[in-house]
Amino acid sequence: MNDPLLADPAGDPTDPQWPGDADGEAWFDDLYRTQRAAVVRLARLLTGSSEHAEDLAHDAFVRIYRKAAPIDDPVPYLRTVTVNVCRNWHRGRQREQLRVVRHGPDADRVSPAARELDASLARLPYPERAVIVLRYWLDLSEAEIARTLHCRPGTVKSRHSRALRKLEKELTS
């Protein structure tokens, strides 16, 4: 049985060759061969992502390999490392979702229309851009925008009107 995908995912801890070989490379190779499928499966179940499961399983094995010495009871340790790697993956995704909420998505993750609107917004003079962002991104009233920008509500109205005309002209041409 040379195919690691077909290997028994639990391994055989009663086998005298497992993991007792003094050579760390052989010990690790055996651990990888017998546990890879189980670790990938565990990562997939913990993350719900088949496409990330292979990478996360690989990360777990890298962490075990960096120990540089055979571990007495490697399967539970490998399981714990896999759970930790998957937890870190979830934390990273949560941080990214918070970043998107705060700052918007990365440029490569938005539609062409949204990129065009972003570019048009960037071409507005700062005072007009500030009014548009505060009004439509933060949903502030004219009075709140005036307080934020230290100007009069009439100034907010005129900047808002001018900015909308410029955006409409640019986006419809």
pLDDT at 51 (0 to 100) = 86
Q: Report the 10 Å Cβ neighbour count for 64.
A: 21
Average confidence score pLDDT of the chain: 78
pTM (2 decimals)? 0.46
103 or 71: which carries more pLDDT confidence?
A: 71
- Of 50-54, 114-118, 134-138, which gets the smallest average pLDDT? 114-118
| Domain limits, the chain | 24-103, 110-172
pLDDT at 4 (0 to 100) = 37
CA gap 49, 51 in Å, rounded: 5
DSSP codes of every residue in 31-81: HHHHHHHHHHHHHHHHHS-HHHHHHHHHHHHHHHHTT-S--SSHHHHHHHH
When mean pLDDT is compared over 71-75, 134-138, 160-164, the highest value belongs to 160-164
Q: How far is CA 112 from CA 36, 107, 118, 132, in A?
A: 41, 9, 10, 20
pLDDT at 141 (0 to 100) = 92
Rounded percentage of the chain residues whose pLDDT exceeds 90: 21
pLDDT tens-digit readout, 6-60: 344 444 444 434 344 455 678 888 889 999 999 999 888 888 888 889 999 999 9
What does the angle CA 14 – CA 7 – CA 17 come to, to the nearest 5 degrees? Answer: 30
pLDDT at 100 (0 to 100) = 58
List the CATH code of the domain at 110-172: 1.10.10.10
Answer CATH for 24-103 from 1.10.3470, 1.10.1740, 1.10.10, 3.30.1370:
1.10.1740
Peptide bond into 19 cis (omega under 30): yes
